[in-house]
Amino acid sequence: MFAASRIQTRAFSASARQLTKVSVLGAAGGIGQPLSLLLKLNPRVSELALYDIRGAPGVGADLSHINTKSTVKGYEPTASGLADALKGSEIVLIPAGVPRKPGMTRDDLFNTNASIVRDLAKACAESCPEANILVISNPVNSTVPIVSEIFKKAGVYNPKRLFGVTTLDVVRASRFVSEIKGTDPKDENITVVGGHSGVTIVPLFSQSKHPELSKNEQLIHRVQFGGDEVVKAKDGAGSATLSMAMAGARMAESLLRAAQGEKGVIEPTFVDSPLYKDQGIDFFASKVELGPNGVEKIYPVGPVDEVEQKLLDACLVDLKKNIQKGKDFVAANP
Ligand code: NAI
């Protein structure tokens, strides 16, 4: 009896492991397409649901010919298409919205992207209130608070399930350091805290294998404004898409690993965080251990040197305003 029930539990968890629906909202865009491709290649994903205001069925049909086991479907741009794309989803990635053009800051995107994210958040709150929501649409510092306000209004907010994707900052920091040091980037784990735009991005090199790099102003600037290099090089055709797709897929993979029982999965990400709440800052990116319930443990910033303390001080000023802007938007445009 005991053995039988154990076998049953195992069988259940094995099949549960194979049933993971992941949805991408904005799936036909510059990020959405390569992100969906990487998710199609991920054996932990069993069902991939693609939604966009245009083009998702085409992207879905294309990806569905790839010979991995998961099913893929691109949904029609209707309210019921969106609801169907979301129902039963474990992870929802949101790269919907407009990207930057040269000369724009991420905050310049606010007017367009705030309402897009608000409306998609409403659909998530209704169709998959328990999913992990991974917000890629910029400005992340404001769009994440928008999602949280919408979920609160719907009475389904779970702070452990909402993530602003800042993985690209970590990916860039690791790559840039490896270029300077001639090392393998996989051995360069650089903690990046704060938010996801300009001076709110704070790399903590003093905690890395190369503490002296915290004095390297050029490197710090490159991590904070690395996105601008891509925007400039693309010359009006958008911002980072391929590297962002990789970063988004890594974040999703980390969540799936943690959901499937792996311990010690840590990613820096922008979450509802206690670290600076006493200063009125409700969201902050720091190292977060992931688990089956989403956020398992939020690590403190840890020791920083004098230079980094100044960066942090500047970060907190901007971050507070960015977060408030998201909250105010929902209050004024419910
Ligand atoms: P894109 O313009 O190529 O694609 C955006 C897609 O969203 C389009 O296919 C569009 O049809 C779709 N879309 C627009 N409104 C929608 C709605 N209401 N519902 C569903 N889909 C909708 O832009 P790209 O390059 O893919 O960038 C997307 C967002 O990601 C931008 O806001 C950009 O700033 C941000 N981003 C974030 C990064 C991060 O590190 N978190 C890095 C790079 C970009």
- Rounded to two decimals, the ipTM of the complex is 0.99
The ligand 1 atom at the shortest distance from the C-alpha of residue 167 is: 40
Residue 284 near residue 273, CB atoms below 8 Å: yes
Alpha-carbon distances, residue 22 vs 35, 41, 72, 87 (angstroms):
11, 13, 10, 10
Residue 52 near residue 25, CB atoms below 8 Å: yes
pLDDT at 3: 44
Distance (Å, whole) CA 300 – CA 318: 20
Which residues, including other chains, have CB under 8 Å from residue 232's CB and lie 6 or more apart? 102
Bond into 185 cis (ω within 30): no
Among 24, 51, 92, 98, residue to substitute to test ligand 1 (most atoms within 8 Å of Cβ): 98
Is the Cβ atom of 168 under 6 angstroms away from ligand 1?
yes
User: Phi and psi for 65 in degrees, rounded to 5?
Assistant: -85, -10
- Global pTM? 0.94
Residue 97 near residue 138, CB atoms below 8 Å: yes
User: Phi and psi for 92 in degrees, rounded to 5?
Assistant: -120, 120
Encode the chain (334 residues) as per-residue pLDDT tens digits: 344 444 444 444 444 455 899 999 999 999 999 999 999 999 999 999 999 999 999 999 999 999 999 999 999 999 999 999 999 999 999 999 998 888 888 888 999 999 999 999 999 999 999 999 999 999 999 999 999 999 999 999 999 999 999 999 999 999 999 999 999 999 999 999 999 999 999 999 999 999 999 999 999 999 999 999 999 999 989 999 999 999 999 999 999 999 999 999 999 999 999 999 999 999 999 999 999 999 999 999 999 999 999 999 999 999 999 999 999 999 999 9
Which residue in the block uniquely carries the two structure tokens 């039963």? 88
Is the Cβ atom of 165 under 6 angstroms away from ligand 1?
yes
Using DSSP's 3-state secondary structure scheme, residue 1 falls into coil
User: For the chain, first and last CA: distance in Å?
Assistant: 54
Alpha-carbon distances, residue 325 vs 16, 52, 329, 330 (angstroms):
40, 26, 6, 9
What does DSSP assign to residue 203?
A: E
Is the Cβ atom of 85 under 6 angstroms away from ligand 1?
no
pLDDT at 2: 43
pLDDT at 12: 44
Q: How far is the CA of 50 from the centre of ligand 1 (A)?
A: 13
Instruction: Give binding residues for NAD(+) as ranges.
Output: 26-32, 52, 113, 136-138, 244
The ligand 1 atom at the shortest distance from the C-alpha of residue 106 is: 34
Instruction: Give binding residues as ranges.
Output: 26-32, 52, 100, 106, 113, 136-138, 172, 244
Give Cα 295 distance to the centre of its chain: 13
Is the Cβ atom of 248 under 6 angstroms away from ligand 1?
no
Residue 126 near residue 83, CB atoms below 8 Å: yes
Distance (Å, whole) CA 66 – CA 85: 20
User: Phi and psi for 280 in degrees, rounded to 5?
Assistant: 80, 20
Among 23, 35, 37, 52, residue to substitute to test ligand 1 (most atoms within 8 Å of Cβ): 52
pLDDT at 18: 57
> In the chain, where are the structural domains located?
19-163, 166-321
pLDDT at 8: 45
List the helix and strand counts (H, then E) for the chain: 10, 11
Strand-pairing partners, residue 203, are: 192
Domain 166-321 has CATH 3.50.50.60: no
Distance (Å, whole) CA 140 – CA 144: 6
β-pairing, 132-135 vs 162-164, is parallel
Q: Is 196 a catalytic residue?
A: yes
How many alpha carbons lie under 13 Å from residue 322 in its C-beta half-sphere? 30
Is the Cβ atom of 98 under 6 angstroms away from ligand 1?
yes
CATH of 19-163, one of 3.40.50.150, 3.40.50.720, 3.40.50.20, 3.30.420.40: 3.40.50.720
Q: How far is the CA of 27 from the centre of ligand 1 (A)?
A: 8
Is the Cβ atom of 116 under 6 angstroms away from ligand 1?
yes
pLDDT at 106: 87
Distance (Å, whole) CA 147 – CA 131: 13
Residue 334 near residue 149, CB atoms below 8 Å: no
What does DSSP assign to residue 245?
A: H
Q: Name the amino acid, one letter, at 221.
A: H
Distance (Å, whole) CA 36 – CA 27: 7
pLDDT at 104: 87
Q: How far is the CA of 263 from the centre of ligand 1 (A)?
A: 32
